[in-house]
Amino acid sequence: MQSYWRLHRYPILFAVACILFYWSFAYNLVRTDSVKLFMLFGALFFLCYKLIQFEKWNFKFLLVVGILFRLVFLIAEPNLSQDFYRFIWDGELIKNGINPYLYTPDQIMEQGMASFLSMNELYEGMSDLNARHYSNYPPVNQILFALAAFLGGGSVLGSTIVMRLIIILADLGMLYFGRKLLQNLNKANHLAFWYFLNPLVIIELTGNLHFEGVMLFFFVWALYLISKNKWIWATPVYATSIMVKLMPLMFLPLFIKYFGFKKSAGFYTLVFLGCAALLIPFFSPVFIDNYSDTVGLWFSNFEFNASIYNVVKKISVTYYEAKPWELIDSYGSFIQKVVVIIVLLLAFLRKNQKLESVISSMVFALAFYYFLSSTVHPWYVVFLLGFAIFTDYRFPLVWSCTIILSYYAYSNPGYKENLWLLSVEYILVIGFFIYEMIGSRPKKLYFFKK
């Protein structure tokens, strides 16, 4: 024991410090306290780096500390996001036999359509925006919400703990298949810990109960099966990933050169059949309209932590007297088309015959989408980070550090953003992105040809 302490005393001390910082984050932080938020996050990111630097070949040590960091949050109420109230609300509706896609919380309360133990607490806790819109969470997410409601015993804390355990299990699964996939790609498997120990991942997923990690678990599992040439077995897993969050839909065209036309057709068909099977229990004639209206809000109504959009908005409003509410609507429609074009260009102009090239194309596609988007919440970057570790690109790791600056908006009345802080975030991220494209690896200037 003494010899172990002598060999690992600094990493052990770093881990203890992390536990104390995560405890403070979970139980003694309000999101309006930006200074404390930034200081805690910065310290945790530095300590994460030091832990991996010292112990990157010590799998058991990093696994144990990663689990301990997550367990710190076990009974904490999420303090950076109110979304979990809506998650539990949807789960309680399913528990009471009501389709969450058919009615808004406002409608449920006004019409008295349901009654459950935590109903008023959940309704008052969720944002007004959530209360007046239909659910936009795909079917597998809804199943997990329902599971949390059933096992949570009707209490908010009980349901929160169940969701937290689900997310922790998903992160463990991501670590398991991530290491296997890294080995198949001839990369060091300790790279998976840049995801597993990343403070953004721990805080936004385990802490704030976002399900990007569950989507990522199924996504990486599917990629691992594809790397083993078990693409048929990968299709239901990939479909499940889509039905947790829709984002993996974007990447389907990128497989066409990797599989070839005939196999791609089979892959796409089985994935869509899998999605349809998962959707059937929730389907109704008005489902498509309700769901598409809510999802469309993300393109036409919301703006948070944007980069290029903020530049376009500043120029349009200042010099062309554009109306902000009209601009974001037209911009959102335009960006949807641009992203489709970018994905198709990556699919047909890149030599995606190798899986690593396919994953690199995914990194470019999602990064361009986020750079162009009017809304980039911090937990969105978790997905980009999660599969970027299978490539040579590290700008998502930089982004996972700098995106915390976007939370400064919550310290201001009306959630007014500080454009100087957002400039710092995106200058560092986009600057490092450009450096990786043309600076450190000149050959990747021609990434469409790889």
pTM recorded for the entire structure: 0.94
| Per-residue model confidence as pLDDT tens digits over 31-78 | 999 999 999 999 999 999 999 999 999 999 999 999 999 999 999 999
> Across all residues in the chain, what is the average pLDDT?
91
Average pLDDT rounded to a whole number, residues 424-447: 77
| Per-residue model confidence as pLDDT tens digits over 18-27 | 999 999 999 9
Burial class, 420, CB count within 10 angstroms (exposed 0-12 / middle 13-18 / buried 19+): exposed
Pick from 78-92, 284-298, 326-340: least confident: 284-298
Nearest-angstrom CA–CA distance, 284 and 289: 10
| Per-residue model confidence as pLDDT tens digits over 171-188 | 999 999 999 999 999 999
Which pLDDT score, from 0 to 100, does residue 298 have?
62
Which pLDDT score, from 0 to 100, does residue 448 have?
46
Beta-carbon count within 10 A of 218 CB: 26
Q: Closest by alpha carbon to 187, among 23, 46, 329, 388?
A: 388
Listed ranges 127-141, 353-367, 411-425; the one with the highest mean pLDDT: 353-367
Average pLDDT rounded to a whole number, residues 264-292: 90
Q: Closest by alpha carbon to 61, among 167, 170, 207, 197?
A: 197
Nearest-angstrom CA–CA distance, 398 and 211: 22
Tokens coding 83? 């979304």
Nearest-angstrom CA–CA distance, 37 and 378: 14
Task: Kindly indicate the confidence band of residue 442, based on its pLDDT and cuts at 50, 70 and 90.
Answer: very low
b/e 21-54 (16+ beta carbons within 10 angstroms → b): bbeebbeeeebeebeebeebbebbbebbbbbbeb
Pick from 33-42, 126-135, 362-371, 387-396: least confident: 126-135
Tokens coding 370? 């986020």
CB 377 within 8 A of CB 305: yes
Nearest-angstrom CA–CA distance, 435 and 214: 31
Which pLDDT score, from 0 to 100, does residue 332 have?
84
Give the C-alpha distances (Å, rounded to integers) separating 227 from 85, 152, 347: 38, 38, 18
Q: Closest by alpha carbon to 313, among 327, 333, 302?
A: 327
Extents of the domains making up the chain = 73-301, 303-450
Predicted confidence (pLDDT) at residue 447 exceeds the cutoff of 70: no
Burial class, 414, CB count within 10 angstroms (exposed 0-12 / middle 13-18 / buried 19+): exposed
Nearest-angstrom CA–CA distance, 1 and 309: 56
| Per-residue model confidence as pLDDT tens digits over 124-159 | 999 888 888 888 899 999 999 999 999 999 899 999
Average pLDDT rounded to a whole number, residues 313-321: 83
Tokens coding 99? 């389709």
| Per-residue model confidence as pLDDT tens digits over 203-234 | 999 999 999 999 999 999 999 999 999 999 99
